[in-house]
Structure 1
C-alpha cells in the first residue's frame, strides 16, 4: 500500500465513528413510528428519545478533546467504539421509555467524542494539500450511515407484515436499533490498526515515535517537511504558559473563536438533524403514506452520499468559503420552498376514505367527513381529540395520506435540495474549518467547546421539533429554519476566511497574531 492509500485507509477507519452517528440518526426516524405508539409517548417524550444522543454528545464534545490531549486520540477512540456497541445492545432490549432514553444517552457520549476526535486526528496526519478531502471523510461516513440506516429501515418495514411472526410492530423497532451492534464492533476492531497521531506524539515529546509515524504515513521525504513544520511550531510554543480554558477568550483567539461558533451554530440551527431524525415523519406530513415515507428516506440518504462526494472533490479545489456560501444560500431557498408548499396545503377526509381505514376506531371520524381544513394544525388537533394521541400516532401516515391535498413533489424537491446543499457545505466544511483554525495547543479544547454548543443546538432542535410541528404547524416551522439560514449566509459572507492549501502552522501564524 503506497503512502497516499495508507493515509486514506487510516483516515477512513477513524471516520467510521461518523458512520455510526449517521446510522443511529437515520434509524431513529423509523424506530419512533413504532416505539412512540408502543410506549404511548407525548411529543416532548418523543423529542427526548430522539434528542438524547445529542444531549449527551455535547458533554462528550466538551471534554473528549482535552481527554485525548492527555491519553491520546487512538485510546480515546477505542473506548468510544466500545460505548457505541453497549448503546446498540441496550437500546434493542429496552423494556421502557426510560431505559431507551438512557441507552441512547450512552450512544450520545460516543457520538460526541467521535465527531470531535476524528477531524482532529485526520488533520494531524494529513498534509495541507489533502487535508480538506480527508477530514471530509467523516461527513462521507455520516451520510453512508444515513443511507445504510434508511435502507435497513425500509426493509424492516417492508417485511413487517400482518403475516409475519418474526417482525411485528412490537419487535421491528428493536431489530432496527440492534443491528447497529455489527458496525460498532467492526469499528472497535479496526481502530487497533491505526497509528497514534504524530502531532500528539510531538506534543508529548515522543519525537522518535512521531518521526517514525510521519515517515510511515508520508514517506521519508515528505515526512521531513512535516517534521520541520511541527518542530518550528513546537519551538515557538516553548515559552508559553500551560493551557487554561479561559485562554480561549483572549483577544488574539477571539476572531477564530467567533468564526467557529457561527459555523457550528448555523450547521444545526437550520434544522438538519430535525430533517434527518424525523425524515419518515416529515414525509408522512405530505400525505404520501407510511411505505412511501420509508422509501423517500432512502432517496434522501442517496442524495446525501452523492453531494458529499461532490464536496470531497471540490473542497481542496474550490475552497471552504465558496462551498459554505453557495450551500447556505441553497439551504435557505430549499427550506422556504418547503414552507411555501405546506402553507398552501389543505386537509379533508371523505366518508369513502374513512370507510377504507383498517383500524378499529376509524368510524369515530365520520362526524369530521368532508370538512375542509386550511392548515395541518387544526386538522391534526381535531383528529387527535377524536381518536386520542396513541391511536393517531399509530395511524398518522394512513390518515394524512387520505386527507392531505398538497404538492408533495414540491416539498420533496425542497427537502432533497436542503439535504444536497447541506451535504456539500455546512456538513463537511464545518469540521474541516474547525480542524484548521486553531493552534495545536488549543485545538482539542477549542473544538470541544464549539462542538458542545453545536450539539446543544442540535439537541434543542430535535427536542422541540415534534412540539413545533404540533403547535406551530409545518409551514411556520420550515419558514423559521429558512429565515435563520438567510441570516447565517450574510454573517458568514462577512467573517469566514479561506483556509485551503495552507499548512496548519501557516494558518496559525496568519489567524492568531500575538497569542
Structure 2
C-alpha cells in the first residue's frame, strides 16, 4: 500500500463514524410516526424525542476534545463505536418513553464525540494538499449514512408489527463493524508528539503516510509549534483577545450551519413532504432522493474544496440556500386549503368529520385562515390533532416546486456549510487548544441544532410551513453576509501557517 493509499485508508476508517452519525440522524425520520403513536406523544414530546439525541451530542462535544487530548483520538473513537451500538439496540427494544429517551441520548454522546474527533484525527494525519478532501470524507460518510438510512426506512416501513423498532435497531450492525475497524488505524502522530513526546513512533507513522522527507518536515513543524507554546491551552485562552478572529469565525459558522434548518429537513423529511400533500409512500421515496442529492453534492464538495477553496464554496452554497428556502416559502405561501367531500371523508374521527362537513366547498388562502374557521367547531384537542395530522389532506400546492426547493437547498448545503465547517474548525485552532476549542464550538453547534429540531414540529403546527421556511431563508441570507465579511481562506496552508495568519490577524 503506497503512502497516499494508506492515508486514504485510515482516513476512511475513521470517517465511518460519520456514517453512523448520519444514519442515526436520519433514521429517526422514518420512525417518527411509529414512536409518536406507540408512546402517545404530543408535539413537544415528539420534538424532544427527536432532538434529545443532541443533548447527548452536547455531552460528547464538551467531553470528547479534552478526553482525546488526554487519552488519544483513537481510544475516544472506539468508545463512540460502543455507544452507537448500545444506543441502537436499546432504542429498538425500549418499551417506555423515558427509557427510549435515555437510549437516544447515549447515541447522542457517540455522535458528539465522533463528529469532533474524526475531523481532528484526519486533519492531524493528512498532508496539506490532501487535507481538505480527506477531512471532507467524514462529511461524505455522514451524508452516505443519511442516504442509507432513508433507503433502510423505505424498505422496513412495511414490516409487520412495529417497523420503527427495526428501523432503529439495524444501526447496530455498522456500529459493530466500525468498532472492529478502528483497531486497524494508528494513533495520531501529532498527538503522540504533542502529548507524549513519542517522536520515533510518530515518525514511523508519518513515513507510512507521506514518506521520509514529509515525516521529518512535519515533525519539525510540530516541534516548532510546541516550542512557541508556554502552557497548555485553556478556555480562558480560547476567549482571549489574541483568539478574537478565530472565535468569531468558529462560533459564527457553527451557528449558521444549524440555524438555517438542515437538521429539520433531515429529521423530518417525510413529514415535510406529507405537509406538501404527498402520500406516505411518496414521502419516503422523496426522502431517499434528498439523501442521494446530499451524497452526490458532497462528492462535488470533496472534489472542489482543495481546488476552488473553502470560502468560495461557502459563498456559492449559502447564496443558493437562501434562494432555495425562498422558493419553498413561496410554494407554501401560494398554497390553498380546499375543503370538499372527498377530502373530508378521509378524516378518521367521525365527530371531527361531522363538524367539518358544514364547511364543504370552502377554500382558504392560508393555514391560519383555515384554523381560525375551525376553532369554534372543534375542541382544543381535536383542533391540535387536525393541525398535526389532518391538514395535509386539504392542501393544494405546487408539490414539484417544494421538492425542487428542498433538493436545491440540500445540494447547496452539501457543497458548503456541511463539509466546509468541519474542515475549517480542524484547521483554524492552534494545536495547544484544538481539543477543548472544538469541543466548545461543537457544544454550541449542537445547542443550536437542538433548538431547531425541538421547535420544528411546533413551528409547522402553530406558525405553518410558510413562516417556518421564511425564517430559515432569512437566516441563510445572514449566513451569506457573515461568510463574505469574516471567513478567511485556508486552502493549501499548513496548520501552523493558518495559526500564524489568524493569530497575527
Residue of structure 2 in register with 1:7 after alignment: 7
1:481 aligns with 2:475: no
Distance 1:284 1:207, change over 3 A: same
Pick the aligned partner of 2:238 from 235, 248, 267.
Answer: 248
1:212 aligns with 2:204: yes
* CA-CA distance at 1:87 after TM superposition: 0.4
Would the aligned equivalents of 1:36 and 1:393 in 2 still touch at CA under 8 Å? no
* 1:442-467 deviations in Å (ceiling 9; x for gaps): 11111111111000000011001111
Name which of structure 1's ranges 50-59 and 189-198 shifts more when overlaid on structure 2: 50-59
* CA-CA distance at 1:121 after TM superposition: 0.3
Inter-partner Cα distance in structure 1 for 2:99 and 2:3: 46
Residue of structure 1 in register with 2:185 after alignment: 194
* CA-CA distance at 1:356 after TM superposition: 5.4
Would the aligned equivalents of 1:19 and 1:142 in 2 still touch at CA under 8 Å? yes
Would the aligned equivalents of 2:232 and 2:433 in 1 still touch at CA under 8 Å? no
* CA-CA distance at 1:249 after TM superposition: 1.2
* 1:8-36 deviations in Å (ceiling 9; x for gaps): 11111111111111111111111011211
Inter-partner Cα distance in structure 2 for 1:434 and 1:389: 46
Would the aligned equivalents of 1:33 and 1:394 in 2 still touch at CA under 8 Å? no
Distance 1:385 1:443, change over 3 A: farther
1:45 aligns with 2:24: no
* CA-CA distance at 1:243 after TM superposition: 2.6
Inter-partner Cα distance in structure 2 for 1:97 and 1:370: 41
Pick the aligned partner of 1:231 from 210, 223, 227.
Answer: 223
Distance 1:241 1:112, change over 3 A: same
Q: Superposition RMSD on alpha carbons, in Å?
A: 1.9
Distance 1:232 1:242, change over 3 A: closer
* 1:348-399 deviations in Å (ceiling 9; x for gaps): 2311333356777774443343232222345468499468379659954xx6
- TM-score normalised over the length of structure 2: 0.95
Inter-partner Cα distance in structure 1 for 2:197 and 2:312: 38
Residue of structure 2 in register with 1:388 after alignment: 382
Inter-partner Cα distance in structure 2 for 1:380 and 1:283: 20
Inter-partner Cα distance in structure 2 for 1:362 and 1:217: 67
- Note the residue ranges of structure 2 that are not aligned, 5 or more in a row: none
Pick the aligned partner of 2:408 from 400, 417, 422.
Answer: 417
Would the aligned equivalents of 1:37 and 1:393 in 2 still touch at CA under 8 Å? no
Pick the aligned partner of 1:322 from 312, 330, 341.
Answer: 312
Distance 1:107 1:317, change over 3 A: same
SS of the aligned residue for 2:337 comes to strand
* 1:32-75 deviations in Å (ceiling 9; x for gaps): 11211222211110110110111221121112111100000000
Residue of structure 2 in register with 1:270 after alignment: 260
Inter-partner Cα distance in structure 2 for 1:488 and 1:357: 42
Inter-partner Cα distance in structure 1 for 2:346 and 2:475: 42
* CA-CA distance at 1:152 after TM superposition: 0.7
Inter-partner Cα distance in structure 1 for 2:254 and 2:444: 7
Distance 1:391 1:3, change over 3 A: same
Distance 1:378 1:466, change over 3 A: farther
* 1:332-362 deviations in Å (ceiling 9; x for gaps): 1111111111111111231133335677777
Distance 1:118 1:178, change over 3 A: same
SS of the aligned residue for 1:41 comes to coil
Inter-partner Cα distance in structure 2 for 1:459 and 1:301: 21
Would the aligned equivalents of 2:331 and 2:402 in 1 still touch at CA under 8 Å? yes
1:407 aligns with 2:380: no
Structure 2 counterparts to residues 127-146 of structure 1, below 5 A = 127-146=127-146
- TM-score normalised over the length of structure 1: 0.93
Name which of structure 1's ranges 102-111 and 241-250 shifts more when overlaid on structure 2: 241-250
* 1:446-496 deviations in Å (ceiling 9; x for gaps): 111111100000001100111111111110110011101111211210111
Residue of structure 1 in register with 2:116 after alignment: 116
SS of the aligned residue for 1:347 comes to strand
Inter-partner Cα distance in structure 2 for 1:87 and 1:94: 10
1:70 aligns with 2:70: yes
Residue of structure 2 in register with 1:34 after alignment: 34
Residue of structure 1 in register with 2:486 after alignment: 495
1:444 aligns with 2:438: no
SS of the aligned residue for 2:432 comes to helix
* CA-CA distance at 1:221 after TM superposition: 2.8
* 1:424-459 deviations in Å (ceiling 9; x for gaps): 000000000000001110111111111110000000
SS of the aligned residue for 1:512 comes to helix
Pick the aligned partner of 2:298 from 308, 322, 332.
Answer: 308
Count of matched residue pairs: 500
* 1:388-422 deviations in Å (ceiling 9; x for gaps): 379659954xx62x421111111111111110000
SS of the aligned residue for 1:441 comes to coil
Inter-partner Cα distance in structure 2 for 1:143 and 1:242: 35
- Note the residue ranges of structure 1 that are not aligned, 5 or more in a row: 161-166
Residue of structure 2 in register with 1:348 after alignment: 338
SS of the aligned residue for 1:130 comes to helix
1:375 aligns with 2:366: yes
Pick the aligned partner of 2:461 from 470, 480, 489.
Answer: 470
Distance 1:472 1:99, change over 3 A: same
Inter-partner Cα distance in structure 1 for 2:189 and 2:164: 42
